[in-house]
Amino acid sequence: MGMTLTEKILARHAGLGRVEPGQIINARVDLVLANELSAAVSIGVMRSIAGADRVFDSEKIALVEDHFVPAKDAQSANLAKMMKDFAREQNVKHFFDVGRGGIEHVVLPEQGLIAPGEVIVGGDSHTCTFGALGAFATGMGSTDIAAAFVLGEVWLRVPPTIKIVYRGRLREMVFAKDLMLQTIGILGIDGATYCAIEFHGPTVDELSITGRITMANMAIEAGAKNGIFHADAKTIAYVRERTGREFMVERADVDAVYQRVVEIDVDGLEPQIACPHTPDNVRPVTEVTREDIPLDQVFIGSCTNGYIEDLRVVAAILAGKRIASNLRVIVNPGSQQVWMQAAEEGILTTLAAAGCAVNTPGCGACFGGHMGTLGDGERCLSTTNRNYVGRMGSPKAEVYLGSPATCAASALTGKITDPRIVSAVGA
Amino acid sequence: MERQLRGFAHKYGKNVDTDVIIPGKYCNLVDPVELGKHALEGLDPEYAARMKPGDIVVADTNFGCGSSREVAPIALKGAGTAAIIAKSFARIFYRNALNIGLPIFESVEAVDGIEAGDELEVDATAGTVRNLSKGTSYKAVAFPPFMQSLIEAGGLKPYVERRLAEKKSG
């Protein structure tokens, strides 16, 4: 009986010939990630563990200042400082301060810190993003991360794997984001709880690395422990451009056992919208636009859709036009590197000329921290990953989730809009 | 961890997510008592003021879904919440709650058999929930043996200390 991709990676990191779903293992970790919010708690926990003076390997810890940055107040600045001081004290090699990194999940792949076959744990639920490169990656709380900091290993329950096979071609103005929203709509927000999701099929083989990142990023929105793609020539080229480090590409066995297999035909798929107040409340855009849904804010960015490809799509739609007068549009390039690339390509100027506010990279708007917080009764269409009550600010606000193209099209009209209409009429 | 818990039930629905348990804007707080003042604020703004220390949160499926923020169970515990009983828990919240010593129990029957305001008595060791108001009794799903041993050892920290010692000796 064979193993799934997740089981293969976990078995090797546990030093075992094979593992089975439900089995408790101790897995060696290749990288431990934290941001200034999760790290602050982890550092406190680590200080309270007898004998835990040093991190297990100062080259295998990544600390990224990204949640309340640039610091919104003194309390946030203190947390950022605490992590910075810790990085210095422990000689942490991969510390990214404001202006030198960006959103953790955007930064780590682009810096070559993630490779196929690796095990990564992070103090942020969207750590599952790294499964896009064929790694096992999962989010954990700060106490577990503190344990990983000092031990270089974590205890895990081996998850059963759900295999999802996508067939068909994505139509114009339909993107990886739409595919993943549809998937979460099918699975439900607890449909993959405790499970691994293994993405398969010709549709996802065709996706760029960025598209796969968008999908793996949202595996947690179905409750999954991790989401994972097989590394292919595209993945290897992407990683090789960024690191000379050795890595091992694993493959699921042909006789791997899956908890279930879900087949999704994407041929007729239209852009998808997750409506308030859960990420699985997903409807096709034509159904949503039957009602007029005016917007107060459009947000473009985050670890889900803050990549250069996303900004190119948005800039192509907004070029030479003005956003509607009833709303504001906030754009956060996902990292300093994305920001600079967008500047070089003239995208930032295009967006600013259209009336968008372009911010420095950070997570603030997505989680209701700062730099794009919603007020009572406000409605936002966002490229982010969650739309729970109060997610982006006021509990009386409403958040809809969509692709960068849908967000850009809606920015022009001031209400939720099908991006295919905008592209067809060249509005 | 207290073994015998007694308090009144506060009942909620399914998918109580971390954004309503402790909204993002409070995630730069570190003091459990300060966090506790905002526990469940996004769902039930009166919870922190209304609840009495020792009270128990009872909820439907997928409690704690969303973010990995450990301040979610810390806020609930900081407010004085003695335990959470739910039909099921989201994965990260489940680990976090155990790691910070907030007792959690899974039982579909208990949740169905409890109304808001019922007085409950929980034996954390045996995993039994008694509804004193209704005279009913329920058994929670047992923890997997490894987790049970972690709980009995006093949480993750003693486990890490033991593993560190093992590694150092070789």
pLDDT digits (tens, 9 = 90+) for B43-67: 999 999 999 999 999 999 999 999 9
Closest chain A residue to the Cα of B167, Cα to Cα: A151
Query: B23 falls in which pLDDT band (50, 70, 90)?
Result: very high
For the domain covering A272-425, report its CATH number. Answer: 3.30.499.10
B69 located within any domain: yes
Closest C-alpha among A323, A345, A310, A39 to residue A175: A310
Strand partners, A262: A164
Average pLDDT over residues A196-211: 98
Please indicate if any CB of chain B lies within 8 Å of the CB of A134: no
Tell me whether residues A388 and B20 touch, CB distance under 8 A.
Answer: yes
Q: Mean pLDDT throughout A133-146?
A: 98
Count how many domains chain B has. Answer: 1
Asked if residue B160 is part of any domain, the answer here is: no
Residue recorded with tokens 């911010």: A359
User: Residue B28: its chain A contacts at CB < 8 A?
Assistant: 37, 68, 72-73, 75-76, 79
Read off the pLDDT band of B2 (50, 70, 90): low
In a domain, B55, yes or no: yes
Rounded distance, CA B68 to CA A144, Å? 11
| Average pLDDT rounded to a whole number, residues B84-92 | 97
Tell if the CB–CB gap between A40 and B30 is shorter than 8 Å: yes
Looking at residue A131, its pLDDT comes to: 98
In chain A, residues under CATH classification 3.30.499.10 are 5-264, 272-425
Hey, is the C-beta of A50 within 8 angstroms of any chain B C-beta?
yes
Other CB atoms within a 10 A radius of the CB of residue A306 amount to 29
Tell me if A389 and B42 make a contact (CB, 8 A cut-off): yes
pLDDT of residue A74 exceeding 70, the answer is yes
More confident residue, B153 or A253: A253
* B28 within domain boundaries: yes
Task: Give the model's confidence band at B18: pLDDT under 50 very low, under 70 low, under 90 confident, else very high.
Answer: very high
Is the alpha carbon torsion for A290, A296, A298, A302 positive or negative?
Answer: negative
N-terminal to C-terminal alpha carbon distance within chain B: 32
Q: Which of A302, A254, A250, A259 has its CA nearest to residue A279?
A: A302
pLDDT exceeds 90 at position A275: yes
**How far apart are alpha carbons A277 and A280 in whole angstroms?**
9
Surface-to-core class of residue A101, CB atoms within 10 Å of its CB (0-12 exposed, 13-18 middle, 19+ buried): buried
Kindly determine whether residue B88 and residue A190, on different chains, have CB atoms separated by under 8 Å.
yes
* Residue-number span of the structural domain to which B82 is assigned: 4-141
What pLDDT, on a 0 to 100 scale, did the predictor assign at position B149? 87
Residue contacts between A and B (CB atoms, under 8 Å)? 142
What residues of A are in contact with residue B165 (Cβ under 8 Å)?
51
Q: Which residue of B has its CA nearest to A154?
A: B160
Distance CA A5, CA A1 (A): 13
A residues 235-294 lying closer than 8 A (beta carbon) to B: 278
Mean pLDDT across A56-60: 98
Structure token pair of residue A196: 């691994």
Out of B24, B25, B65, closest to residue A189 by CB: B65
- Per residue, the 3-state secondary structure of B33-73, as one string, reads HHHHCCCCCCCCCCHHHHCCCCCEEEECCCECCCCCCCHHH
Q: Bridge partners of A26?
A: A155
> Which residues, other chains included, contact A353 with Cβ-Cβ below 8 Å and sequence gap of 6+?
none
Nearest CB to A147; choose among B24, B62, B156: B156
How would you class A263 by CB atoms within 10 Å of its CB: exposed for 0-12, middle for 13-18, buried for 19 or more?
exposed
Residue pair A150/A52 in contact by the 8 Å Cβ criterion: yes
Within 13 Å and on the Cβ side, how many CA atoms surround A135? 28
**In the CATH hierarchy, which fold is given to the domain comprising A5-264?**
Aconitase; domain 3 (3.30.499)
Q: Identify whether B73 is part of a domain.
A: yes
How many C-alpha atoms does A70 have within 13 Å on its Cβ side? Answer: 4
pLDDT value, residue A427:
45
B163 and A393 within 8 Å at the Cβ level: the answer is no
Q: How many CA atoms lie within 13 A of A399 on its CB side?
A: 30
B68: which chain A residues are within 8 Å (Cβ-Cβ)?
38, 123-125, 127, 139-141
Q: Mind giving me the DSSP string for B87-122?
A: S-B-HHHHHHHHHHT--EEE-HHHHHT--TT-EEEE
A171/chain B closest Cα distance in angstroms: 30
d(CA A371, CA B80): 33
Residue B165 lies in a domain: no
pTM: 0.97
B124 inside domain: yes
CA angle A367, A357, A63 (to 5 degrees): 45
Considering only CB atoms, B92 lies closest to which of A139, A367, A393, namely A139
Query: How would residue B1 be classed by pLDDT, with cut points 50, 70 and 90?
Result: low
The pLDDT of residue A100 is above 60: yes
Cβ of B92 within 8 Å of Cβ of A140? The answer is: yes
pLDDT at B153: 83
Cβ count near A282 (within 10 Å): 20
pLDDT at B170 over 80: no
pLDDT band, very low/low/confident/very high, at A88 (cuts 50, 70, 90)? very high
Cβ atoms of B92 and B62 within 8 Å: the answer is: no
| CA pseudo-torsion sign A256, A262, A263, A265 | negative
Q: What is the pLDDT of residue B152?
A: 83
Mean pLDDT of chain A: 97
Q: What is the 3-state secondary structure (H, E, C) of A118-158?
A: CEEEECCHHHHHHHHHCCEEEECCHHHHHHHHHHCEEEEEC
The whole-number pLDDT of residue A425 equals 53
Largest CA distance in chain A: 66
For chain B, percent of residues with pLDDT exceeding 90: 86
A3: phi then psi, degrees, rounded to nearest 5: -120, 150
In a domain, B166, yes or no: no
Nearest C-alpha of chain A: how many angstroms from B26?
8
Residue A39 pLDDT more than 60? yes
From the centroid of its chain, how far is CA A35? Answer: 14
CA distance A230 to A268: 25
CATH value at residue B54: 3.20.19.10
d(CA A68, CA A83): 13
